[in-house]
A and B are shown apart, each in its own frame.
Chain A
């Protein structure tokens, strides 16, 4: 019973198209993480926020993704130009503290790039 809401649950895009997904963190949680989970169940950290500020992101995210967590609006992650290798489950997780805290995950957005 996820309290973290992710939309849409499924997303199908052609190569080169933009793909945007959203996340509403659990109420009161200022920290948000985005992960990519591939078909082998491996997790890749993409980016994290505390309130509206980016804490850290990987090189791929900086170059090809656009992400934000505006005040009083859902967080979003957008791939600017989708590639076949982007097909994966994108998970959003929120927590109360930046370090060492339990992360509460949403159900994910499953992206398929054709």
Chain B
């Protein structure tokens, strides 16, 4: 079956530090990969999306690269801000007849001023 692994439950940083959130996935075929971000009291919202056609996505200073060799889709940001504090989800959209996205367990990012 399909699976997504986010090993880091929480990441704590100070402003302007480098962010790296690990995500690996398992599936067959060529999935679409997403990073969603969820702020307190809100539903998740798309941060970035990558397909096999474009391999790399970026938005608001965040970047993620689709690596089929290592089946990874890590999220990075060079310099975080306090406003980036939220929960980040790596999501696998595997093609197939019974399509339903597979969510990672989420990584809570806390950024201190």
Contact = CB atoms under 8 A, between A and B. Distances in A.
Interface residues of B, number: 25
A33 B36 CA distance: 16
Given A105-B44, A105-B45, A107-B42, A98 B101 contact: no
Contact of A105 (B43, B51, B100, B108): B43
Interface in A25-80: 33, 40-43, 45, 48, 56
A48 to B, nearest CB: 7
B49 A40 contact: no
B87 A99 contact: no
Given A41-B87, A41-B106, A103 B42 contact: no
Contacts of B99: 98-100
Contacts of A98: 99
Interface of A: 2, 4, 6, 33, 40-43, 45, 48, 56, 91, 93, 98-108
